[in-house]
Structure 1
Amino acid sequence: MNPKPKITIVGSINMDIVTITDQLPKMGETLIGKQFKMNPGGKGANQAVAAARLGADVRMIGCVGNDSFGPVLKQNMQKEGIDVTNVEPVTDSTGTATIIVYQGDNNIIIVPGANHHVNAAFVESKRDVIADSDVLILQLEIPLDGVQKALEIAKEHHVKVILNPAPICELPAELIEKVDFLTPNEHEYALLQKGLDEKELKEKVILTKGSQGVAFYQGDQEVSIPAYSVKVVDTTGAGDSFNGGFAVALSRGISVSEACRYGNAVAALSTTKLGAQTGMPTGEEVEVFIKGMKG
């Protein structure tokens, strides 16, 4: 078992700009909101934080802008123990997600900004970091050619790859061939099924189903791993928490089914607190939680 697995994340880094309101404005109307906050986000950074809190040696590859948000987001990741040597500033705005929360529902506008620069050429310049990894985690909030290049490098160096296909888009079959594990939710999986070989998908998919847990196939047999029952406060970041937990467990040589259980525990604990990164548990918290459930 590897006690300090090397996990590399190539992905997005955003600042989440959140406005909570009791009323939505009509076009051209100005209203007074209820609450405002800014939180570090982006699926890549979220998954990096999740893995780092669980005790992994995490390296983040990505871009931030040359604005005030960039240094703040890098410092936040450093505080979490993440290696940000390969997070580079570019002449662009830092990625943002502008979120309006109204009656528990979200309206979100994402401006990728600097995340657009995590392309094939940029990823190629980070070849040595990817090659020296136990697990590589990818998502789809960066250019697809950047994802493809990262996969190529990982495949050449026998690095396990987890692709969280979100936000979902059309994926070429040759990309899927290089992935070891796909972690879609049910909506994403339905869209993946339309253009890809179902047999190959079944071999790679770890289907996340929220409160229903996760499911995967062993041959033709579907295996269901139930979710842990907790008092849910906020589900934001639960999927990213699962991916971080699943990656850490896999890198420690744990079986797929046990890695799913571990990922479920991480995701469950993350929903008991407000926020995405702020709610992510430590490795010690997860171990205590799992022991408590078994006891």
Structure 2
Amino acid sequence: MAIDLVSLGETFEDVIFHDLKSWPKLGEEQRCDRLLRTWGGGALLTAVAAARQRLSVQVVSGLAPGAHRFLKREGLKVRNLRKTGEPHALTVALSTLEDRAFVTYPGVNEILEERFLKALATLRGRHLHLALEPRDCAAWCQALSVVRERKLTVSWDFGWNEELVRRPGFGQLLEHIDFLFLNETEASLYGPGLDWSWRPGTTIIKLGKQGCLAWRGQRKTEVRGLPVKAIDSTGAGDAFNGGFLAGMLSGQSLSECLAFGNRIGAASTLCPGGLEGLPRA
């Protein structure tokens, strides 16, 4: 089966203490009755969200053995760039009903950029989604030029990184991305705020429970969010990305893609962690 979506980037083992009544104080122990161990990271969550909507999806990442097995059970194709003996990445999350805090051990993710760039030379599919922080923007510009010559469209979710805007070539990199995913705070970090009409391609800005908007040239499209009783918003943005891309690769209009992204993102908040609430078509 031909691959619809290649999702390339960072993955993590997630250990989530959720439903905390308050934040633990320094020097004190707080017991928590709700613990979830699962898999996360933008590349994995976006891939699974799209695959559960019946797309053919491949993940390219540095995966723990358990994450590799999980993705295979989900029916995804896997290219694991982690070598034997290299530690996988792990995040510990503390979650109350109002907010979250994280501690992350990056593991193999720290050394994957060169392997990612090499992997692009042999990737095949209709669309490439990237979920990582680029360090060598010039190298990514060159690599994406080649990818787009092979008729793949490209999307990217950088996440939050204050250093990224100061890296040489970042402005040029933005020109090589067909679909750029941001949240509201990232839109102000990487650009002038909510007005991204200046950027080529499509820029999608996720606004949480308020919904989302997109710029395609001078045209702005807005879609309201869905009223849900969220339990945990971990990974909701990545779930949105997977829903949007599933819609786009199925031929939906921009407004339909935004609405579908909202639906998948909202569903993911109904369970702890990013994976448990992802719906199946």
For residues 72 and 128 of structure 1, the distance between their equivalents in structure 2, rounded to whole angstroms, comes to: 25
Q: Indicate which of 3, 6, 10 corresponds to 2:4.
A: 6
Taking the aligned partners of 1:152 and 1:198, their CA distance within structure 2 comes to 22
Residue 149 (structure 1) shift: 6.3
- Which stretch shifts more, 99-108 or 255-264? 99-108
Conserved? CA contact 1:120–1:149, under 8 Å: no
Q: Could you tell me which residue of structure 1 aligns to residue 74 of structure 2?
A: 80
Determine which of 252, 268, 273 is the counterpart of 1:270.
Answer: 268
1:234-249 matches, within 5 Å, as 234-249=232-247
Q: How does 1:19-168 map to 2 (within 5 A)?
A: 19-20=17-18, 21-22=20-21, 24-64=23-63, 70-102=64-96, 104-129=98-123, 132-141=124-133, 151-168=144-161
Q: CA deviation at 1:164?
A: 1.2
1:104, distance to aligned residue in structure 2 (A): 4.3
Question: Deviation per CA, 1:203-253, whole angstroms, max 9, x where unpaired?
Answer: 531111111111123443422111223333332222111100111111122
Task: Give deviations 1:163-205, integer Å, cap 9, x for gaps.
Answer: 112033424111101000111011000011159x954337531
Counterparts of 1:157 and 1:46, CA distance in 2: 25
Letter in 1 for 2:212: V
Q: Aligned in 2, Cα 1:230/1:99: closer, same or farther, shift over 3 Å?
A: closer
Residues 227, 122 of structure 1: CA spacing in aligned structure 2 closer, same or farther, 3 A cutoff?
A: closer
Alpha-carbon separation, structure 2, partners of 1:32 and 1:256:
46
Deviations 1:144-177 (A, max 9, x none): 5685565344223221111112033424111101
In the alignment, what sits opposite 2:208? 210
Moved more, 215-224 or 104-113: 215-224
SS of the residue 1:253 aligns to: coil
Any idea what SS the aligned residue of 2:128 has? strand
Distance 1:269 1:35, change over 3 A: closer
Q: Secondary structure of the equivalent of 2:238? A: helix
2:259, 2:245 → 1: CA distance?
A: 12
Q: What secondary structure, in the 3-state scheme, does the structure 2 residue paired with 1:201 have?
A: coil
Native 8 Å contact 2:202 2:216 kept in 1? no
Q: Distance in 1 between matches of 2:70 and 2:143?
A: 24
Q: Is the 8 A contact 1:135 1:161 kept in 2?
A: yes
Give yes or no for the alignment of 1:254 onto 2:252: yes
Which structure has the highest helix share of the two? 1
Query: Structure 1 residues 244 and 208, CA, compared in 2 at 3 Å: closer, same or farther?
Result: same
SS at match of 2:279: coil
Q: Which sits farther off after the overlay, 184-193 or 14-23?
A: 14-23
Q: Give the 3 Å change call, closer, same or farther, for CA 112–219 of structure 1 in structure 2.
A: same
Residues in 1 aligned to 2:142 and 2:217: alpha-carbon distance in whole angstroms: 29
Q: Give the whole-Å Cα distance in 2 for the aligned partners of 1:62 and 1:147.
A: 16
Find the aligned partners of 2:230 and 2:178 in 1 and give their Cα distance.
31
| Residues 154, 179 of structure 2: 8 Å contact kept | yes
Decide whether the 8 Å contact of 1:115 with 1:141 is kept in 2.
no
- Do 1:118 and 1:142's aligned partners in 2 also have CA atoms closer than 8 Å? no
| SS, match of residue 259 in structure 1 | helix
Report the secondary structure of 2:182's partner residue.
coil
2-structure distance, mates of 1:221, 1:40:
37
Q: 1:148 to 1:91 in 2, by over 3 A?
A: farther
User: What amino acid sits opposite 1:57 in the alignment?
Assistant: S
Q: Between Structure 1 and Structure 2, how many residues are aligned?
A: 273
Listed one character per residue, the Cα deviations across residues 35-57 of structure 1 (whole Å, up to 9, x for unaligned) are 43311111111111111111111
Compute the displacement of 1:270 (Å): 2.0
Q: Deviations over 1:12-51 (max 9, x none)?
A: 1100112355565554544544443311111111111111
| TM-score, scaled to structure 1 | 0.81
Compare 34-43 and 3-12 and name the one that shifted more.
3-12
TM-score (norm 2): 0.85
Identity rate, percent: 27
Q: Which moved more, 1:87-96 or 1:110-119?
A: 87-96
Could you tell me how far 1:118 is from its partner in structure 2? Answer: 2.0
Q: Where does residue 293 of structure 1 map in the other structure? A: none
- For 1:114, the aligned partner's letter is V
Q: Conserved in 2, the CA contact under 8 Å of 1:206 and 1:214?
A: yes
